[in-house]
């Protein structure tokens, strides 16, 4: 039996590390009865294509980032909102992977659209790269920034005065090189492996959002497995949460050092007062989220905000 697992990222990425570990766990625990075949980004199409293939049953698992999936599952765009997470990455990790109510509510939203939520996978802080530092909202004025395609991401960058330009991941390098866009936003490991730093002059670190991916499956697939296999998948999800938290940190740290060694890109870290100016601009986008995502969206938002506040208080 073959389980096909598609990635929105290339070999060497956080998603690839996750899938490789998933593969070795599944294959060992099913005594070779199941083979997991990993499909890195490229051959099967864009993120939107991958989601479609899971819904049709051609793939058993795919990574599905809220930045792309928001067009299909509006509620998941919560995970693209700016300044909604803790500054403490471990708190974010614990809440996102460990809060059962949050995961169940999100799974309901997935199921309504022909998907199931297998796991939530935080991949590290996003940073902005551009031809210049982006220290305050005025620096974004008229900047053509590439975003993923979910509608709320466009709102987030319009709120800063930018001109967001959504496009698939695979087109970003070429678009930067050809000056069709000025800027883009991604976690550091991805910027290095996609070589975006080679065609940008400045990297601004605002800790405005994490890149949070999810792993989606087809409802009929997991529900149709034996109780034993479902229990195995639950166990593996729990073990992978800790594994990938350490892995994303390691990859993001290493790749930042590689970027610093191999290019003269300017790296800017915003201070708290600079971040506060962006945060203030970002707040109305939360209301827009609730309008788009309805009652369940509001519940997800409240659950996340409360869980983070509580965890922040106890750290």
**Residue 211 C-beta: closest distance to ligand 6CS, Å:** 5
Question: Using CA atoms in the order 282, 169, 105, 248, what is the torsion angle rounded to 10 degrees?
Answer: -90
**Residue 46 C-beta: closest distance to ligand 6CS, Å:** 8
Per DSSP, helices labelled H in the chain are 14-29, 47-55, 66-69, 89-98, 100-112, 151-158, 172-177, 188-193, 219-223, 227-262, 272-314
Contact call for residue 245 and ligand 6CS (CB under 6 A): no
From 315, 314, 313, 307, select the one nearest 84 (Cα to Cα). 307
Cβ-based nearer residue to ligand 6CS, 9 or 182: 9
Tell me which residues in 258-287 interact with ligand 6CS (CB under 6 A).
none
User: Are 69 and 51 within 8 A, CB to CB?
Assistant: yes
Q: How far apart are CA 246 and CA 119, in angstroms?
A: 16
Cross-strand pairs, 146: 165, 184
Residue 156 CA to its chain's centroid (Å): 15
Tell me which residues in 123-182 interact with ligand 6CS (CB under 6 A).
148, 169
From 115, 124, 160, select the one nearest 18 (Cα to Cα). 124
Contact call for residue 192 and ligand 6CS (CB under 6 A): no
46 to 40, 127, 149: CA distances (angstroms): 11, 22, 11
203 to 104, 264, 265, 267, 295: CA distances (angstroms): 36, 11, 7, 5, 37
Question: Per-residue contact track with ligand 6CS, 84 to 113, x per CB under 6 A?
Answer: ------------------------------
Cβ-based nearer residue to ligand 6CS, 159 or 212: 212
Q: At 191, is the secondary structure helix, strand, or coil?
A: helix
Cβ-based nearer residue to ligand 6CS, 78 or 121: 121
The stretch near ligand 6CS (CB under 6 A) out of 77-85, 186-194, 238-246, 295-303 is 186-194
Cβ-based nearer residue to ligand 6CS, 187 or 297: 187
**Residue 276 C-beta: closest distance to ligand 6CS, Å:** 26
CA angle 45, 233, 226 (to 5 degrees): 105
**Residue 169 C-beta: closest distance to ligand 6CS, Å:** 3
Cross-strand pairs, 122: 212
Tell me which residues in 22-51 interact with ligand 6CS (CB under 6 A).
47
Cβ-based nearer residue to ligand 6CS, 45 or 137: 45
Cβ-based nearer residue to ligand 6CS, 48 or 290: 48
Tell me which residues in 57-76 interact with ligand 6CS (CB under 6 A).
65, 68
Contact call for residue 311 and ligand 6CS (CB under 6 A): no
Cβ-based nearer residue to ligand 6CS, 66 or 307: 66
Contact residue for ligand 6CS among 190, 209, 215, 307 (CB under 6 A): 190
**Residue 135 C-beta: closest distance to ligand 6CS, Å:** 23
Residues lying near ligand 6CS in the complex (CB under 6 A) are found at 8-9, 47, 65, 68, 148, 169, 186-187, 190, 211
């Amino acid at each position: 039996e073959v389980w096909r697992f598609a990635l929105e990222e290339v070999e060497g990425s956080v998603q690839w590390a996750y899938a490789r570990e998933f593969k070795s766990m599944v294959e060992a625990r099913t005594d070779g009865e199941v083979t997991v075949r990993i499909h890195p980004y490229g051959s099967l199409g864009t993120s939107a294509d991958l989601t479609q293939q899971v819904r049709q049953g051609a793939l058993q698992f795919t990574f599905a980032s809220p930045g792309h999936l928001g067009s299909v599952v509006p509620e998941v765009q919560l995970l693209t909102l700016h300044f909604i997470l803790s500054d403490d990455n471990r708190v974010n990790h614990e809440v996102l992977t460990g809060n059962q109510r949050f995961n169940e509510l999100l799974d309901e939203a997935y199921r309504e659209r022909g998907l199931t939520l297998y796991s939530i996978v935080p991949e590290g802080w996003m940073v902005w790269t551009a031809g210049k530092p982006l220290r305050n909202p005025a620096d974004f004025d008229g900047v053509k920034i590439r975003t993923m395609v979910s509608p709320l991401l466009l709102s987030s960058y319009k709120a800063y005065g930018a001109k967001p330009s959504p496009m698939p991941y695979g087109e970003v390098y070429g678009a930067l090189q050809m000056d069709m866009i000025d800027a883009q936003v991604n976690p550091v490991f991805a910027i290095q492996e996609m070589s975006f730093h080679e065609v940008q002059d400045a990297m601004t670190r605002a800790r405005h959002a994490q890149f949070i991916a999810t792993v989606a499956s087809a409802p009929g697939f997991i529900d149709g497995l034996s109780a034993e296999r479902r229990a195995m998948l639950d166990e593996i999800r729990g073990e992978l949460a800790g594994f990938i938290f350490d892995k994303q940190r390691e990859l993001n740290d290493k790749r930042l050092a590689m970027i610093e060694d191999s290019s003269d890109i300017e790296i800017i870290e915003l201070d708290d007062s600079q971040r506060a100016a962006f945060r203030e601009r970002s707040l109305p986008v939360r209301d827009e989220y609730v309008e788009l995502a309805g009652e369940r969206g509001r519940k997800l938002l409240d659950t996340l905000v409360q869980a983070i506040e509580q965890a922040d208080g106890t750290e």
